[in-house]
């Protein structure tokens, strides 16, 4: 039987790094015919029509268009929705995967490890790109069996922090290799002539115009290079969207650069043709089809095809990619496939792609702390950019070709869709058949468990975590380390065991399914009042002074009093209470207790005097004036 495998990431047709990776791995795995593939497409609504045209099943992770518009004022909710966090539970339940693979930024995936459906057949494949590693990225290590990053950077740092080797393994983003290759010299010259170019030394940068892409540093380095080499006719090709991120026009002006020396890629969304030339604004007339305002700089929604992008790379003499940090940077691998020498900031994933063995040179950098996050980021040195550009320019043609071929082979051996796809096959095929909690239902904790005699404190703690709280932890779990510290400081095993059992009882009570047919009195005539006061002893005792007044106002109603188990005895022999019941958290839902328009609840009136807030209100009472009562007997 085929395994059902869910891939959760950017939509496979988006022109983003995650989107391209999604497309590449799904295409490869689809061709194997081994799996039922399902795409959870971030940034697409559940009713997006384009999802129906894919060869595999696809679901958008955004709510339907109308629901999405209704939440437009809640930016936090919109962000969660964009990452699929609002719909993921229902999609998992509907699709019932045998294996789940989340490919996103770590802050979009880390909340999932606490889901009830999360298990050892769930995989995180993320881009960790800065020091110190994101706090949640470290905390979740014990909970993720299949934990992969796109570069070796994260795994090395986790090991340095004391985690076992392989806690975060390396699985690079998949690159589609057949579309990117070096054209012959005649073809390269022909493309140049098409765009009024000839023998210029063209430096290229393919990127989404995000602030972490170091455009100012590149322009400064380009300026230094031109000043040192005034006889070289150099052009800088920025293949990006000029209406997002950096104000490139202002940066050109600030650096006293000529506009005609900075090229960009224009794309017509009508006829799908592209053109490389200096920036001339947005929404301009297409010279190919005559569209009045159909041409813009390339972007993630309307951009060149991979065949066209291959031509863009083949316009270049060298590829330069400065950044503050990055998970992998797929354009670097595409550039290497076209046999370009790549200059990459030697930080984060750049450590893997700026070596001579990979067909590249490192760009030097200085560290700075990112405001707000305190992550260490790299500011690429403009002088290093200029130095490496000059180095490549002065290399012999034979040396350039040798390094270019090495660059292509590095990608074929380490990053091709075939290489990455086969690694994914191995991971999926070796995953065991396990029971998924698709219903997302709570599993009863075992508060009666008595652990066996275990000498090792670590193994003893792992045992009670597993058999009392039903949690699988490792020796590196922060919680386990905390309890180990308590043991070393004199706390007894009996004390810790007692605490675990109390937590188990608490979680069982909070998640208990209450059958009201068992709670309600058999001789109850149907008119009921619920009075909820969970704690503490003093509050429970004092609140009973209200009961005579309530009973006077509603003499034909039976009063049910809900409190925690340990306070029930305070209510013994109270003549105004019809029945004592153990408090459960769902009793704080007024609409469930009393009902709402068109429906009936379990009680005619529910008083919740302990939670009078805007978040959990206690004052609606189904539109009926039932809350006023006289406390004077």
pTM above 0.85, yes or no: no
* pLDDT, averaged across the chain: 89
DSSP string covering 444-493:
PP-TT------S-HHHHHHHHHHHHS-----TT-HHHHHHHHHHHTT--H
Tell me: do 470 and 571 sit in the same domain.
no
Q: Which domain holds residue 544?
A: 516-623
DSSP 574: -
Tell me: do 211 and 344 sit in the same domain.
yes
Angle in degrees, 0-180, between the axes of helices 478-488 and 457-468, rounded to the nearest 10: 130
**Residue 70 pLDDT class (50, 70, 90 cuts):** low
Average pLDDT rounded to a whole number, residues 464-471: 88
For 15-51, give one letter per residue: b (16+ CB within 10 A) or e: bbbbbbbbbbbbbbbeeeeebebbbbbbbbbbebeeb
The answer to whether 266 touches 298, Cβ cutoff 8 Å, is yes
Tell me: do 36 and 163 sit in the same domain.
yes
Beta-strand pair 262-268/365-369: unpaired
Q: How many domains does the chain have?
A: 4
What's the CA gap between 546 and 483, in Å, rounded?
A: 44
Lowest-confidence pick of 403-412, 430-439, 506-515: 506-515
What's the CA gap between 417 and 603, in Å, rounded?
A: 61
The predicted-structure confidence for 44-54, as pLDDT tens digits, reads as follows 888 789 999 99
Q: Is residue 135 over pLDDT 80? A: yes
What's the CA gap between 37 and 230, in Å, rounded?
A: 55
- 329: Cβ contacts below 8 Å, ≥ 6 apart: 17, 321, 323, 344, 349, 350, 353
3-class secondary structure, 155: helix
Residue 179 lies in a domain: no
> What tokens does 107 get?
């802050």
Tell me: do 55 and 160 sit in the same domain.
yes
DSSP string covering 185-206:
HHHHHHHHHHTT--S-EEEEEE
Cα angle 192-194-195, degrees, rounded to a multiple of 5: 70
The predicted-structure confidence for 283-298, as pLDDT tens digits, reads as follows 999 999 999 999 999 9
Q: Is residue 31 over pLDDT 50? A: yes
Tell me: do 351 and 489 sit in the same domain.
no
Tell me: do 463 and 607 sit in the same domain.
no
Q: Is residue 632 over pLDDT 70? A: no
CA dihedral for 133, 412, 341, 213, sign (positive or negative): negative
Tell me: do 527 and 482 sit in the same domain.
no
What's the CA gap between 542 and 496, in Å, rounded?
A: 34
pLDDT at position 522 = 65
Tell me: do 71 and 165 sit in the same domain.
yes
**For position 58, which CATH number holds?**
3.40.50.11930
């Amino acid at each position: 039987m085929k395994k059902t495998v869910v891939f959760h990431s950017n939509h496979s047709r988006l022109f983003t790094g995650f989107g391209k990776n999604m497309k590449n791995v799904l295409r490869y795995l689809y061709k194997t015919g081994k799996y039922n593939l399902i795409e959870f497409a971030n940034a697409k609504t559940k009713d997006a029509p384009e999802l129906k045209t894919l060869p595999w099943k696809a679901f958008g992770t955004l709510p339907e268009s109308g629901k999405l518009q209704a939440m437009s004022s809640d930016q936090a909710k919109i962000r969660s929705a964009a990452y699929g966090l609002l719909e993921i539970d229902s999609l998992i339940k509907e699709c019932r995967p045998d294996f789940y693979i989340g490919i996103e930024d770590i802050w979009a995936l880390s909340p999932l490890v606490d889901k009830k459906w999360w298990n050892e057949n769930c995989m995180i494949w993320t881009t960790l790109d800065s020091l110190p590693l994101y706090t949640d990225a470290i905390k979740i290590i014990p909970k993720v069996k299949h934990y992969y990053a796109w570069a070796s950077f994260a795994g090395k740092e986790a090991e340095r922090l004391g985690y076992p080797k392989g806690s975060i393994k390396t699985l690079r983003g998949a690159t589609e290799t057949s579309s990117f290759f070096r054209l012959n010299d005649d073809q390269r010259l022909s493309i140049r002539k098409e765009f009024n170019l000839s023998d210029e030394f063209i430096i290229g940068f393919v990127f989404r115009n995000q602030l972490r892409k170091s455009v100012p540093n590149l322009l400064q380095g380009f300026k230094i290079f031109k000043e040192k080499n005034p006889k070289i006719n150099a052009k800088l090709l920025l293949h990006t969207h000029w209406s997002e991120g950096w104000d490139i026009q202002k940066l050109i002006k600030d650096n006293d650069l000529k506009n005609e020396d900075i090229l960009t890629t224009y794309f017509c969304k009508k006829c799908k043709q592209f053109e490389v030339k200096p920036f001339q604004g947005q929404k301009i007339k297409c010279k190919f089809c005559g569209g009045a305002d159909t041409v813009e700089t390339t972007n993630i929604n309307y951009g060149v095809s991979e065949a066209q992008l291959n031509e863009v790379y083949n316009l270049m003499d060298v590829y330069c990619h400065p950044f503050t940090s990055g998970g992998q940077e797929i354009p670097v691998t595409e550039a290497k496939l076209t046999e370009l020498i790549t200059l990459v900031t030697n930080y984060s994933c750049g450590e893997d792609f700026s070596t001579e063995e990979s067909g590249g040179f490192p760009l030097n950098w200085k560290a700075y702390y990112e405001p707000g996050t305190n992550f260490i980021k790299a500011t690429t040195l403009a002088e290093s950019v200029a130095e490496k550009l000059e180095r490549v320019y002065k290399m012999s043609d034979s040396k350039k070709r040798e390094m270019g071929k090495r660059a292509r082979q590095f990608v074929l051996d380490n990053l091709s869709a075939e290489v990455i796809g086969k690694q994914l096959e191995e991971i999926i095929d070796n995953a065991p058949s396990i029971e998924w909690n698709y219903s997302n239902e709570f599993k009863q904790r075992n508060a009666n468990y008595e652990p066996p005699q275990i000498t090792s404190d670590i193994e003893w703690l792992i045992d009670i975590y597993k058999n009392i709280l039903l949690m699988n932890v490792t020796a590196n779990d922060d919680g386990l380390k905390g309890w180990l510290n308590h043991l070393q400081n004199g706390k007894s095993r009996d004390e810790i065991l007692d605490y675990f059992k109390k937590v188990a009882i608490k979680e069982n009570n909070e998640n208990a399914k209450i059958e009201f047919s068992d709670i309600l009195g058999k001789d109850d005539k149907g008119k009921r009042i619920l009075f909820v006061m969970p704690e503490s002893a003093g509050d429970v005792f004092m609140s009973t002074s209200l009961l005579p007044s309530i009973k006077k106002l509603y003499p034909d109603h039976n009063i049910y009093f809900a409190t925690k188990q340990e306070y029930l005895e305070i209510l013994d022999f109270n003549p105004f209470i019809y029945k004592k019941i153990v408090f459960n958290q769902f009793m704080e839902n007024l609409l469930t207790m009393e009902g709402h328009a068109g429906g009936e609840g379990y009680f005619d009136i529910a008083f919740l005097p302990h939670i009078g807030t805007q978040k959990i209100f206690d004052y609606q009472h189904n539109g009926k004036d039932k809350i006023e009562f006289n406390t004077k007997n």
